[in-house]
Amino acid sequence: MKADMIVGIQWGDEGKGKIVDLMAQHYDVVCRYQGGHNAGHTIWVDGVRYALHLIPSGILNPKALNVIGNGVVVCPDALIKEMAQFEKLAGRLFVSDKAHMMILNHHILIDQAKEKLRGAKAIGTTGRGIGPSYGSKIERSGHRLGELRDTNKLARALVEFYDENRALFNALGIVTPDFETLKSELDGYAKALLPFLTDTTHMVWKCLDENKKVLLEGAQGTMLDVDHGTYPFVTSSNTISAGACVGLGLNPKDIGKVTGIVKAYCTRVGNGPFPTEDFGTEGDELREKGHEYGTSTGRARRCGWFDAVACRYASRINGCDDLAIMKLDVLDGFETVKVCVAYEVNGQRVETLPQDLDNVKPIYEELPGWKSVVGCRKFEDLPEAAKTYLKRLEVLTGTKIGLISTSPDRNDTIIL
């Protein structure tokens, strides 16, 4: 059995949570493979809103096992608080003992201090400590969740790290805890999390070998990938489909169907290039109609029109078999809707994604708008103009559409 995958195609916040929740009803195992609690998935079920940050969206399916893989950076405090929302997680949630920890507050404080020092050149991070956590992992000064099995040893190692880097912490105005304070906090984490830690790599292998249906869930979006996104205005992990192999211990042959998630328009949180951003009233209207405020931070998202150039690039790099179009209902009521079909760069028309997006001008195609798609659950029920828009997106992105969301509710979904 191969593992199917959900991957974000834009700058994150595409609505992956709803699709994972919907699809998880048909899977035995749902796995998260990268990111941290900077990401957030909002899911609406029967009018109830759920906000998830670390736990896979499959947790809302009582029959599914949920895995947090080694590629995720875990803030123990954040995970414990999120776990408190649910009952009877034993036997349903499994966390990799190789996942790296965001230790206490020092990663968060470093993140916030560095972002402040960047001033006008700030990246626009969530300030949750994700970058410094991945930085510690890469420079081999980080610690894994499995080390909570010996909190004495872990606390001593942390005190040594603080002493060795005293100049940095003093310069940033960060007060580090002493051994006893560290030990006490780590003991609390160990008590809460050790029952859920396991070798998730072998666990997922076993599930695949037993022909169980496995769904892989990423965080953020392709354009925020540290290698293939709009660097340096990116996250600190590989958000593309290939990142699932590293973040869970799978090989490329283990990957089955890849579904790319996109909004019917575009949004972005934080700083960095955004070619189709609309600075006028239509951008404001998209934000308000789409409730475009971050699940994790509450920050207002920048809004604009669908970028077919970026989507085509992202679909190819992820190997998407199909696309799920989210929030089509947010475009209800616009007289016309725009799609970016190419860029103008130095007076030339460009249909591929350039490295430098700061100086590109979007070339738009305008299509007729429609009144409302809310509640449509069959393609034939959609207004003709909405059908035309979707068919045009298929042509421009080179990828077929397999699913269309017509409202936040789980059931208002067209499956083609």
Catalytic residue among 4, 13, 28, 278: 13
Catalytic residue flag (residue 13): yes
Q: How many CB atoms lie within 10 A of CB 333?
A: 12
Q: Shortest CA distance to 155 belongs to which of 126, 190, 125? A: 190
- Calculate the alpha carbon distances from 391 to 369, 400, 406 in Å: 14, 9, 16
Query: Which helix (DSSP H) or strand (DSSP E) does residue 289 occupy?
Result: helix 281-289
Query: Which helix (DSSP H) or strand (DSSP E) does residue 307 occupy?
Result: strand 306-307
Q: Shortest CA distance to 272 belongs to which of 7, 67, 10? A: 10
Q: How many CB atoms lie within 10 A of CB 140?
A: 6
User: Residue 135 — left, alpha, or beta (φ > 0 → left; ψ -120 to 50 → alpha)?
Assistant: alpha
Catalytic residue among 37, 41, 107, 228: 41
CA atoms within 13 A on the CB side of 50: 24
Alpha helix segments (H runs only) across 15-129: 16-24, 76-83, 106-118
Using CA atoms, how far apart are residues 387 and 381, in angstroms rounded to an integer? 9
Cis peptide before 195 (omega within 30 of 0): no
Please tell me whether residue 41 adopts helix, strand or coil conformation: strand
Catalytic residue flag (residue 227): no
Active-site positions read: 13, 41
